[in-house]
Amino acid sequence: MRAEHYVGGVFRADGPEFPLLSPVDGGQVGTVPEAGRATVDEAVAAARAALDGAWGAASPQDRAAALRRVADGIDRRFDEFVDAEVADTGKPRDLAATVDIPRAAGNFRAYADLLYGQAEQAYATAVPAWSGGGQALNYTVRRPLGVVAVISPWNLPLLLLTWKVAPALAAGNTVVAKPSEETPSTATLLARVIDEAGLPAGAFNLVHGHGADAAGAFLTEHPGVSAIAFTGESATGASIMRTAAKHVTPVSFELGGKNPALVFADADLDAAVDGTVASSFTHSGQICLCTERVYVERPVFDAFVARLGERARALRDYGPMISAGHRDKVLSYYRLAREEGATVVAGGGVPEFGDARDGGYYVEPTVLTGLPNTARTVREEIFGPVCHVAPFDTEDEALRLANDSPYGLAATVWTRDVSRAHRVAPRVEAGIVWVNGWNIRDLRTPFGGVKASGIGREGGQHSLDFFSEPVNVCVNL
């Protein structure tokens, strides 16, 4: 596939091109144009013109109708989106077909629906005598922030792109999006769908390229950008934040995680093992919500580790790492774990398939034990199919271990004790805590992290609150 920019309603491929490689076998599957500063400038200018023009003048009803047309367009091109997502990421086809693409269409429909549920408050206020007396009416209106830069990652390319684009457009903003240079295909298809849906030229713009000293930096440092919404690594988020500070640009960040699971002795052990297999190894661990630290109450520790290791060794239908570079990073942590004294219960290396996949970027699903909480392997985000399992003896110790991390995105708690569940979950330092489950999402609820895992919340009204600003209007009656 040949990726293209989409600027001011026009598809183009200006700039030098670089190859798009398949993580499955390392072969070339397409080309991607590298947007220069001039292309980014044009995209921001086109977005500003649409904000001052047709899209800025669109009513909430018009915007909602446009979002529904986009959702319908994704549905019509469903198989194309699945093919593109699988080609870019190498993830299992059923994962793309049951999660990524349906959620992308659902994001547009959800925010179209939310536009009809907006409610603001109004107050009758006494006017002081020194100002003439009588009454005044205070009410609130919301206006868009302006031109929003959306930077999305490679692990869930379409889902996380639309998770930001849909509410930004719903709130009346215009968008300049830059997907990861490693997964540009579904973003290009989305631009096609938006073009077919008839949104005004410049309402949505797409530029491709790399991040540092390239399209990503050109976009986030642009003085014409009114807000930045970013999902990715914490270090990249910190760099963007320093850039945004120059213009006091609002930011919404969903960043890294080193997510814990707490398994108590009274848990349904079958469910806890099943849930940990899912939370550690889905998409080969390349999801921000995946579990990398597992703490198990000592009476069931040995049984849990044995069963989890057996399940990890039995896994067959899993995808590759996104790139050779990321594979090498994950393998470096496998080596580090051994150097730090870990016991490798399962995995720890590179699988051999005996087919074209041996040219791809695969690593084995891996279960480790035996490291202290101070070990780098336990503290640093790996973002691969790996978890470290450690025992605990008391509830307080479990919480101390879980919270002893610079990250705080997500956590899971496994227990049959209802009182314990309600007692422990609020004390875990994370933006979302699942009890006896994992990755159960209601799009109306707040999503985001604490500490190094992010700033702000996304989802439902929380996204609309970020992508718009309230204006108080006071009318002296």
Beta bridge partners of 144: 468
C-alpha 378/C-alpha 342 separation (Å) is: 10
Residue 457 has pLDDT above 80, yes or no: yes
Give 119's pLDDT tier (boundaries 50, 70, 90).
confident
Sheet holding 10-12, edge to edge: 10-12, 5-7, 204-206, 174-178, 147-151, 227-231, 251-254, 454-455
248 with 266, same domain?
Answer: no
Query: Which structure tokens are listed for 182?
Result: 């490693």
* Percentage of the chain exceeding pLDDT 90: 95
Identify whether the C-beta of residue 194 lies closer than 8 Å to the C-beta of residue 50: no
On the question of pLDDT at 130 being above 90, the answer is: no
Is 441 among the domain residues? no
Reported confidence tier of residue 131, pLDDT bands at 50, 70, 90? confident
Mean pLDDT score, 214-222: 97
All residues at 6 or more sequence positions from 113 whose CB lies less than 8 Å from its CB, including other chains: 64
The verdict on 250 and 304 lying in the same domain is no
Asked if the structure places residue 230 within a domain, the reply is yes
Active site residue 254: yes
Instruction: Look at residue 409 and tell me if it is in a domain.
Output: yes
Q: Give tens-digit pLDDT for 14-45.
A: 999 999 999 999 999 999 999 999 999 999 99
What is the Cα–Cα distance from 31 to 1, expressed in whole angstroms? 7
In a domain, 247, yes or no: yes
Q: Are residues 371 and 408 in the same domain?
A: yes
Q: Is the model's pLDDT at 241 over the cut of 80?
A: yes
Kindly tell me if the per-residue pLDDT of 445 is higher than 80.
yes
Query: What is the structure's pLDDT at 157?
Result: 97
Cα separation, 25 vs 117, in Å, equals 47
pLDDT of residue 454: 95
376 and 300 housed in the same domain: yes
β-pairing verdict for 135-144 and 468-476: antiparallel
Whether 92 maps to a domain, the answer reads yes
Average pLDDT, the chain: 96
pLDDT of residue 116 exceeding 80: no
3-class DSSP state of 265: coil
Distances (CA, A) of 462 to 145, 366, 443, 444, 447: 15, 36, 10, 8, 9
Judgement on whether residues 89 and 231 belong to the same structural domain of the protein: yes
- CA pair distance 160, 294, nearest whole angstrom: 26
Whether residues 370 and 223 fall in one domain:
no
Tell me how far apart the alpha carbons of residues 371 and 348 are, in angstroms, rounded to a whole number: 15
- Residue 167 falls within a domain, yes or no? yes
- Residue range(s) defining the domain that contains residue 360: 259-435
Judge whether residue 205 has pLDDT over 90. Answer: yes
254, 292, 297, 458: the catalytic one is 254
Residues 69-86, mean pLDDT to the nearest whole number = 98
140 and 286 co-located in one domain = no
Say if 64 falls within a structural domain.
Answer: yes
Task: Give the per-residue pLDDT at 121.
Answer: 82
CATH code for the domain in which residue 172 is found: 3.40.605.10
pLDDT in tens, 139-188: 998 999 999 999 999 999 999 999 999 999 999 999 999 999 999 999 99
Can you state the angle between helices 60-76 and 101-114, rounded to 10 degrees?
A: 160
Determine the pLDDT at residue 132: 85
| Position 133 pLDDT exceeds 90 | no
Q: In this structure, are 251 and 275 located in the same domain?
A: no
Q: Which of 181, 182, 288, 429 is catalytic?
A: 288
Query: Looking at the structure, do residues 51 and 179 belong to the same domain, yes or no?
Result: yes
Number of domains in the chain: 2
Asked if 288 is an active-site residue, the reply is: yes
Q: Is the pLDDT of residue 1 over 90?
A: no
**What does the pLDDT read at residue 115?**
87
pLDDT value of residue 321: 98
In a domain, 171, yes or no: yes
- Together in a domain, 292 and 248: no
pLDDT, tens digit (0-9, with 9 covering 90-100), for 396-439: 999 999 999 999 999 999 999 999 999 999 999 999 999 999 99
pLDDT of residue 428: 98
Q: State how far the Cα of 368 lies from the Cα of 363, in Å rounded to an integer.
A: 14
- Tell me what pLDDT residue 348 has: 97
- Name all contacts of 60-64 with Cβ < 8 Å and 24+ positions apart: 60/115, 60/116, 60/118, 61/115, 63/112, 63/115, 63/169, 63/170, 63/172, 64/112, 64/113, 64/115, 64/116, 64/170
Distance CA 353, CA 6 (A): 39
- Partners of residue 90 on adjacent β-strands: none
Q: What is the mean pLDDT of residues 185-196?
A: 98
> In CATH, what number is assigned to the domain containing residue 315?
3.40.309.10
Mean pLDDT of 191-205: 98
Among 106, 404, 469, 72, which Cα is nearest to 260's? Answer: 404
- List the one residue out of 121, 154, 172 whose CA is nearest residue 21: 154
- Name the pairing type of β-strands 291-297 and 386-392: parallel
Same domain, 429 and 470: no
Answer yes or no: do 358 and 269 share one domain. Answer: yes
What is the pLDDT, as a whole number, of residue 283? 97
